[in-house]
Amino acid sequence: MKKLWILILILIVGAIGFVYFSPMFERVPPKIIVYSDGYTNLKNPIKIEIKDNYGIKSYKIVLIAGNVVEVLQNVEEPNMGKDVIVNLKLPKNINSNEIKLIITAKDTSKWHFLAGNETKKEVILKVDKTAPDAQVVNNSYAIGRGGSAVAIVKVSDKNLKDAYILVNNKYKFKLTPFKKEGYYISLIAWPYNEKEFSAELIAEDLAGNKVSTHIPYFWKTKGIYKFKNKKINITDKFIEQVGKRVLQKMNIDIPNNPVEIFKEVNEKVRKMNELEIQKLTSNTDENIISGFNIRRFRPLPGSAKMADFGDIRHYIYHNKEISRAIHKGVDLAKIKRAKIYSSNGGIVIANKYIGIYGNALIIYHGLGLYTLYGHTSEFLVKKGDKVYKGEVIARTGATGAVFGDHLHFGVYIQGIPVQPIEWMDSHWIKTNILNVIKEAKKAID
């Protein structure tokens, strides 16, 4: 008899242990996630995710709008899986300013006497069916491939989530608050690798209402906007003395083949360097500004221009093309170790070795505008320094992947390289940037 009781006790303990430790009886309830900013426009579906460690058995979604109570979904299936995504469509005839969603979900656990674990989540959403008001106040008349322009816009919505300028449906330019509440300004670019150009002002509110307003720009197609093909002969001496040196400084393994050494520098290292520069030059102002004062850039007065922005460089080794690259600045040459000047005030955001660009200095001038000074032999300012017009900031050199002492001068707008010659022309700046801003300020006032 005693043995029987011991056996029964063992069975009871075993059963309790099985229930307690078995995955079938897990006690963690499902998790419900509603992807929302607290608003709805009744048009865009609301994404709801229901997750459980063991599996979802059923879920129910109830809508309460004013005095109306409606079951939108009531689903029960034994094999829905561990992660259920619901794109919930709401009735469009709701007149209430606010709705409530009550979501319940049960898992397939045998806990709670085989009933499973249950979760309940209530979400209140404000109804907003009105799209933001997005207007163009003023913009540059024209833009060329690889060039720059400015736009001043007005965007208003009590529930505004985001506003920006979208170029060619892929390049997003942030807006800077300008002059008064609801007004914004942005420098934009026509990326050199894009043959066509379009610009749209995009505004979206928290409810998902979105509006797109076209910004009219006339396309410039002549003059400085024509990119040239240039052949550059590469010698064994250049590969040995320059190519290897760049790879060593970048801590990259050096291939045995001369062609592979050059391709490693011109393609792999170049890509790494350009991604780094893009990150360094992508930020713009977030605080409100009242104007933008910029003068023409003359980093190396009295110099000669040796190479243009957008040059398509074909590198020739033993009469055969082995690699290509697009030149993303202008090359200026004077004398060795010539003084480089800051033509406009700004903040030094980098002074470091950047591969093919050698010892490079990057200065931020505001409104997403950056200048880069490459191949320098000496830095005369450091990261974080405030520089002023006319200040000597560095000296030219032959660091990086270069044939001789010169300055590589680059201009970037929110990470996009643009035509420096425009920013070296006082007439262009006045006509295309300063006068446009001046007229916009009058309109705003």
CATH assignment at residue 164: 2.60.40.10
Exposed, middle or buried, 111 (CB in 10 Å: 0-12/13-18/19+)? middle
Domain presence at residue 389: yes
Q: What is the pLDDT of residue 223?
A: 79
Cβ(151)–Cβ(165) below 8 Å: yes
335 and 348 in a single domain? The answer is: yes
Query: For residues 445 and 108, what is the distance between their CA atoms, to the nearest angstrom?
Result: 64
Those residues whose C-beta lies under 8 Å from the C-beta of residue 327, and which sit 6 or more positions away, are 307, 308, 309, 310, 311, 312, 313
267-286: burial string, b at 16+ Cβ within 10 Å, e else: eebbeebbebbeebbeebbe
Q: Are residues 54 and 189 in the same domain?
A: no
> Letter for the amino acid at 392?
V
One domain for residues 103 and 239: no
Note whether 203 and 240 are same-domain residues: no
- 146 within 8 A of 418, measured Cβ to Cβ: yes
What's CA 381's distance to the chain center, in Å?
28
Our count of domains for the chain comes to: 3
Are residues 154 and 302 located together in one domain of the fold?
Answer: no
Examine the domain organization and report whether 80 and 172 are in the same domain.
no
Burial of 356 (0-12, 13-18, 19+ CB in 10 A): buried
Question: 127: which strand partners?
Answer: 40
- Would 4 be classed as within a structural domain? no
Give the pLDDT confidence score for residue 127 in this predicted structure: 95
Encode the chain (445 residues) as per-residue pLDDT tens digits. 555 555 555 445 444 444 444 455 576 889 999 999 999 999 999 999 999 988 889 999 999 998 889 999 999 987 788 899 999 999 988 989 999 999 999 988 866 545 588 899 999 999 999 999 999 999 999 999 999 999 999 999 999 999 999 999 999 999 999 999 999 999 999 999 999 999 999 999 999 999 999 999 999 988 788 899 999 999 999 999 999 999 999 999 999 999 999 999 999 999 999 999 999 999 998 899 999 999 999 999 999 999 999 999 999 999 999 999 999 999 999 999 999 999 999 999 999 999 999 999 999 999 999 999 999 999 999 999 999 999 999 999 999 999 899 999 999 999 999 999 999 999 999 999 999 999 999 999 8
144 and 111 housed in the same domain: no
Q: Give the CATH number, domain containing residue 298.
A: 2.70.70.10
Q: Do residue 81 and residue 110 come from a single domain?
A: yes
- Residue 98 sits in the same domain as residue 179: no
Q: Examine the domain organization and report whether 343 and 253 are in the same domain.
A: yes
User: Tell me, what CATH number does 41's domain have?
Assistant: 2.60.40.1930
pTM: 0.89
Cα angle 199, 201, 205 (rounded to 5 degrees) comes to 150
Is residue 420 a part of any domain in this protein? no
Q: 419 lies in a domain? A: no
The Cα 192–Cα 183 span in angstroms is: 29
21 neighbors 108 (Cβ within 8 angstroms): no
Q: Considering 105, 127, 149, which residue would you say is the last residue of a domain? A: 127
287 and 240 in a common domain = yes
Domain that holds residue 407: 227-414
Residue 154 belongs to a domain = yes
Task: Assess if residue 422 is contained within a domain.
Answer: no
Task: Evaluate whether 348 touches 381 at the Cβ level (below 8 Å).
Answer: yes
| Structural element, H or E, at residue 364 | strand 359-364
- The answer as to whether 441 is a domain residue is no
Domain final residue, candidates 127, 145, 177: 127
E strands, 89-147, in order: 98-107, 118-127, 133-139, 142-144
- Are 292 and 402 members of one domain? yes
**Partner residues linked to 395 by β-bridges:** 339, 378
Q: Write down the pLDDT at residue 209.
A: 96
> Which of 64, 97, 127 represents a domain boundary (last residue)?
127
